[in-house]
Chain A
Amino acid sequence: MATRRDFLSQPAPENYVAGLGRGATGFTTRSDLGPAREGPSDDQMKEMLAKRAAQLGLDGAKKDKDDKEDDGGNDDERFQDPDNEVGLFAGGVYDKDDEEADKIWDWVEERMDRRRRQREAREQAEREEYERNNPKIQQQFTDLKRALSTVTDDEWANLPEVGDLTGKNRRSRQALRQRFYAVPDSVLAGARDLGAMGTTVADDGDASSGAGGGDSADGTMTNFAQIGAARGKVLQSRLEAASQVSGGDATSGSATSIDAQGYITDLNRLQMTEGQAQVGDINRVRELLSSVVKSNPNNALGWIAAARLEELAGKIVSARKTIDQGCQRCPKSEDAWLENIRLNHDSHNAKVIARRAIEANNRSVRLWVEAMRLENLPANKKRVIRQALDHIPESEALWKEAVNLEDDENDAKLMLAKATELIPLSTDLWLALARLETPENAQKVLNKARKACPTSHEIWIAAARLQEQLGQGQKVNVLKRAVQVLAKESAMPKREEWIAEAERCEEEGALVTCEAIIRETLGWGLDEDDDRKETWMDDARASINRGRYETARAIYAYALRVFVNSKTLWTAASDLERNHGTRESLWQVLEKAVEACPKSEDLWMMLAKEKWQAGEVDGARLVLKRAFNQNPNNEDIWLAAVKLESANDNEEQARKLLEIAREQAPTDRVWMKSVVFERVLGNLETALDLNLKALQLFPATAKLWMLKGQIYDDLGKVGQSREAYAQGVKAVPKSVPLWLLYARLEENAGNTVKARSVLERARLAVPKNAELWRESVRLERRSGNMTQAKSLMARALQEVPKSGILWVEQIWHLEPRTQRKPRSLEAIKKVDSDAVLFIAVARIFWADRKLDKAQSWFEKALVLDSDNGDGWAWYYKFLTQHGTEEKKADVVTKCVLNEPRHGEVWQTVAKHPKNARKGVEEILKLVAAELDA
């Protein structure tokens, strides 16, 4: 700091130019304040510098140097250091050393300058020498160029063009020079008006108001936009008509070609489809058609079109005339004659025309049939048709007409016999003949027919059905031979076709034939592998869906003959019998089934159940006994037997059976059933005894622990019950129902705190379980802790977000009424599809009296999960309030069919010892009553 401030104490150098040392510049703020200049002026500076130099005694040298530099181009400024060289050392003291150095430098520079001058002179000389030797073109013509300055402007302008003398590109250049101009509107308008007679008076006042102004005053104003629009419209309508025609005629594809026939048919169709024939159009088309007819008079279609046009125009007489001409021109055309007959339909001329037509072409079946139709009396008809048959004896259609006309059976038979002789390949005629003949003769006829057309399976089926009618269907196996023969002729229809035939036979009541067809043909064309089973099951199912139970039965029978030991097939067959057959046939099937698969307990149980349901308790017992013989020590059969006995109030018998079962098939299930049996009967002490024994054998069975707790509970021994649950929970910590029972016991005993801790432990043991969470929430809710319940629910939903029951709990108990719907929407989004949730939604709709929606949601839920008893009960309850009796009955039967076993309330009701012997319907009603709205 101090050193910097030294200048304050130093004296200022002499001749210092203020501001020069730092290159200061001034400024001008306001001109009126006085003259302002940019720093020290050049004159000032020079003056100062001169003053300084003179003082230092360098005046002469400087002057010399300046002069020299002026000569040499005065580039002093250019080589100056950008950083203020002028004043860099200006403040320094100029001493002797500096002077000497300057002198030496001056000498060096002088010398360098001398050498440079010599070199430059030499180079200049060399260059001039070179240029003299090699002059540039530019320099050669310099004098001439200089002379150009004398040329005047006129002379410049009149310089001749240099023509393109090369022949190349001449044509393209010509084309380039050719030019086209747009014809002005006035010329077009003039051309338009040239030959036209003006029929309108140009309204000056109106026209002058238009945009055209003066131009429109003389009536030559042309609105080209409108003309263009009109043309567009015409084109559009033509295109539409064309597209209609081609659309209607897409199959023939003749619309685009110039084929006369196609064109005429198109025109016809156009006339017909449009329906509204305008006079102008008709005239135009008439001209067109007349030209067609003239140019091509032998084309019947042209004539027909012309006649139709006249008919359409309402001129029936000229139409007849036209078609008559047509018929004369083209007598061989069936169509023209038919058209003629059609046009003369109501007059007596028709018959005359028909005769002429037939004379012209007597082998036309259509004309003969038409002529026959014209006759009114049957006798005349017969005459005509016989004449026709004289001419065309090989026409099947004519023969059929003839037979149809015959009233007498014998005549018909004769006709058919003749017909079959003439046309032996017509299956229909053969079958018709066979149908008319007596059975014996029919057989003969069919034999002949078979010989005539060996590839027809219809004849074989007819033969089989004939045998059935004769009562010999079982004895003579026609179809077996049919299959052989048809296979030989390689005319075997496909399996599906055979099944269709069989179904048709069933429909017409020929059950034996139907069965025979299936029996002989079902295995045809299928590989000998296990795919056949699936194929046949599919066939049978399809037949059942079509309502052809006999066919299905036959298919099952055949399949079971092949796959005797297939349980699935037997089950399917028995299902068919149960649903669509008689009880006896069902029993028969099941008997056969248990014979075929004696090891299948399901089939045994099914049989026993059927017997029992039919009221034949003894029969059921017998069945079970046989089942025991076949499957000794099978717990299912034991338990079925016990159920049978207990259901029929044979308690002693049942108890004995259970005892034996416990000895012979000691499984946990048998033990459990024993305990339940005793409990239901009210023998709590015995039940407890059994239970304790069972628990020693199967300590890991949660249900046994539950039973123990419940029995103690029934006995009113809460303490022991609690102990039982506690032990059970230790032994089987993963059993959710056990935990729930334990918690409820505590809650019922009034120990809410204890129940809470039990549930906490349960959640630890079984994490992510929706039911445990729900129970926790309910516990809080029941004890009145709504806030706690809500917070628990939030946690629960975090842990188990996809649980329907949790959502239902929240929607129904933790939300205000208004929030229920949005909350349920959210739940459906989260959970997707859950039957319990659907039921809740349905109940919300029910509460809002949106009954249709509620019903549809109930049905959705039941479709989704038909095992949910609560859903059925809710629906039942809903229907008792809002449904019809039929609907209610329908739901009850469906429920009984589905036998629901789950559902929260359902389970508690159904498992209660009081309700142990009640049917599904009763339980449904009980549950519905139990449900709280």
Chain B
Amino acid sequence: MGTVVLPHLNSGWHVDQAILSEEDRLVVIRFGRDHDPDCMRQDEVLYKIADKVKSFAAIYVCDIDQVPDFNVMYELYDPCTIMFFFRNKHMMVDFGTGNNNKLNWVLEDKQELIDILETVFRGARKGRGLVVSPKDYSTRHRY
């Protein structure tokens, strides 16, 4: 459901325009494959919070098979990856996982996701390039 409803970015140009178009909102892009079960689960969550965070975040989805332009640039090898941009700047988040560039696992807790988005947004507004996630995800996932 979420995968279908969330706005899709169909080309590299669209991705760029999406990132450039937002002046004071966070741009959240989910890179992945629309048919992937992980992605579907993640999209479900994203869809559910989209309305709640619409005042400070815009959420898009992007199929990495359809738009392979960024696969090398952004190391998009995981089934599901969420990245954050603010005013054409890539925002990094210290999740404690060792990869600060993106959120590359499925986060199904809505409130946690909202918290992360809010933290990133606040940090970005203050001019930060890297923010610390409100929760440490190091032990919970693969590492």
Same complex origin of A and B: yes
CB pair B18–A18 under 8 Å, yes or no, is: no
17 extra interface residue pairs, beta carbon distance < 8 Å, beyond A21-B16, A36-B73, A37-B73: A7-B18, A7-B21, A8-B14, A12-B12, A13-B13, A17-B12, A18-B11, A19-B69, A21-B13, A21-B17, A22-B20, A25-B73, A26-B72, A26-B73, A35-B72, A36-B72, A39-B73
Residues of B within 8 A of A34 (CB): 72, 75, 77
What's the minimum C-beta distance from B18 to chain A, rounded to whole angstroms?
7
* Complex alpha-carbon distance, A764 and B63, angstroms: 96
Give 1 or 0 for each of A24-37: 1 = CB within 8 Å of chain B CB: 11111110011111
Q: B119 near A: Cβ within 8 Å?
A: no
Q: B111 near A: Cβ within 8 Å?
A: no
B11's partner among A12, A22, A26, A40 (CB-CB below 8 A) is: A12
CB pair B75–A18 under 8 Å, yes or no, is: no
* Complex alpha-carbon distance, A27 and B92, angstroms: 11
Closest residue of A by beta carbon distance from B69: A18
Closest residue of A by beta carbon distance from B102: A29
B16's partner among A4, A24, A36 (CB-CB below 8 A) is: A24
| 10 closest cross-chain pairs (CB), A and B | A18-B12, A18-B69, A26-B73, A12-B13, A7-B17, A12-B11, A16-B13, A4-B21, A21-B16, A22-B16
Q: Which of B58-104 contact A (CB under 8 A)?
A: 67, 69-70, 72-75, 77, 88, 90, 99, 101
Q: A730 near B: Cβ within 8 Å?
A: no
Residues of B within 8 A of A30 (CB): 99
Q: A5 near B: Cβ within 8 Å?
A: yes
Q: B37 near A: Cβ within 8 Å?
A: no
Q: B19 near A: Cβ within 8 Å?
A: yes
* Complex alpha-carbon distance, A40 and B88, angstroms: 16
Residues of A within 8 A of B21 (CB): 4-5, 7
A8's partner among B7, B67, B90 (CB-CB below 8 A) is: B7
Q: B22 near A: Cβ within 8 Å?
A: yes
CB pair A19–B16 under 8 Å, yes or no, is: yes
Q: Which of B18, B20, B75, B99 neighbours the largest number of chain A CB atoms within 10 Å of its CB?
A: B75
* Complex alpha-carbon distance, A26 and B74, angstroms: 6
Q: B40 near A: Cβ within 8 Å?
A: no
* Complex alpha-carbon distance, A36 and B74, angstroms: 8
* Complex alpha-carbon distance, A501 and B17, angstroms: 128
* Complex alpha-carbon distance, A7 and B18, angstroms: 8
Residues of B within 8 A of A33 (CB): 75, 77
Interface residue tally on B, bucketed by range? 20 to 34
Q: B15 near A: Cβ within 8 Å?
A: yes
CB pair B77–A19 under 8 Å, yes or no, is: no
* Complex alpha-carbon distance, A12 and B75, angstroms: 23
Residues of B within 8 A of A16 (CB): 11-13
Give 1 or 0 for each of A730-751: 1 = CB within 8 Å of chain B CB: 0000000000000000000000
Residues of B within 8 A of A13 (CB): 13
CB pair B73–A19 under 8 Å, yes or no, is: yes
* Complex alpha-carbon distance, A33 and B20, angstroms: 28
- Could you tell me which A residues sit within 8 Å of B by CB distance? 4-5, 7-8, 12-13, 16-19, 21-30, 33-37, 39-40
> Could you tell me the dominant secondary structure of chain A's interface residues?
loop
Given A16-B11, A27-B101, CB of A21 within 8 Å of CB of B75: no
* Complex alpha-carbon distance, A16 and B11, angstroms: 9
What's the minimum C-beta distance from A14 to chain B, rounded to whole angstroms?
10
Residues of A within 8 A of B10 (CB): 12
Residues of A within 8 A of B72 (CB): 26, 34-37
Q: Which of B22-71 contact A (CB under 8 A)?
A: 22, 67, 69-70
What's the minimum C-beta distance from B81 to chain A, rounded to whole angstroms?
11
Closest residue of B by beta carbon distance from A37: B72
Residues of A within 8 A of B88 (CB): 22-23
What's the minimum C-beta distance from B70 to chain A, rounded to whole angstroms?
6
A28's partner among B15, B17, B67, B75 (CB-CB below 8 A) is: B75
B75's partner among A5, A17, A23, A29 (CB-CB below 8 A) is: A29
Residues of B within 8 A of A8 (CB): 7, 9, 14, 18
* Complex alpha-carbon distance, A469 and B19, angstroms: 140
Residues of B within 8 A of A7 (CB): 13-14, 17-18, 21
* Complex alpha-carbon distance, A25 and B72, angstroms: 11
Residues of B within 8 A of A36 (CB): 72-73, 75
What's the minimum C-beta distance from B105 to chain A, rounded to whole angstroms?
14
Residues of B within 8 A of A12 (CB): 10-14
Residues of B within 8 A of A37 (CB): 72-73
Residues of B within 8 A of A27 (CB): 74-75, 90, 101
B70's partner among A5, A18, A23, A35 (CB-CB below 8 A) is: A18
What's the minimum C-beta distance from B62 to chain A, rounded to whole angstroms?
11
CB pair A21–B20 under 8 Å, yes or no, is: yes
* Complex alpha-carbon distance, A23 and B89, angstroms: 10
Q: Which of B9, B13, B19, B20 neighbours the largest number of chain A CB atoms within 10 Å of its CB?
A: B13
CB pair B77–A18 under 8 Å, yes or no, is: no
- Would you give 10 A-B contacts (Cβ < 8 Å), ordered by A? A4-B22, A7-B13, A13-B13, A19-B69, A19-B73, A21-B20, A24-B70, A25-B73, A26-B73, A27-B90
What's the minimum C-beta distance from B116 to chain A, rounded to whole angstroms?
18
* Complex alpha-carbon distance, A36 and B72, angstroms: 6
* Complex alpha-carbon distance, A307 and B20, angstroms: 122
* Complex alpha-carbon distance, A24 and B17, angstroms: 12
What's the minimum C-beta distance from B16 to chain A, rounded to whole angstroms?
5
What's the minimum C-beta distance from B88 to chain A, rounded to whole angstroms?
5
* Complex alpha-carbon distance, A12 and B8, angstroms: 14
* Complex alpha-carbon distance, A37 and B21, angstroms: 25
What's the minimum C-beta distance from A491 to chain B, rounded to whole angstroms?
107
Residues of A within 8 A of B70 (CB): 18-19, 24
Residues of B within 8 A of A5 (CB): 7, 21
What's the minimum C-beta distance from B101 to chain A, rounded to whole angstroms?
6
Q: Which of B12, B18, B67 neighbours the largest number of chain A CB atoms within 10 Å of its CB?
A: B12
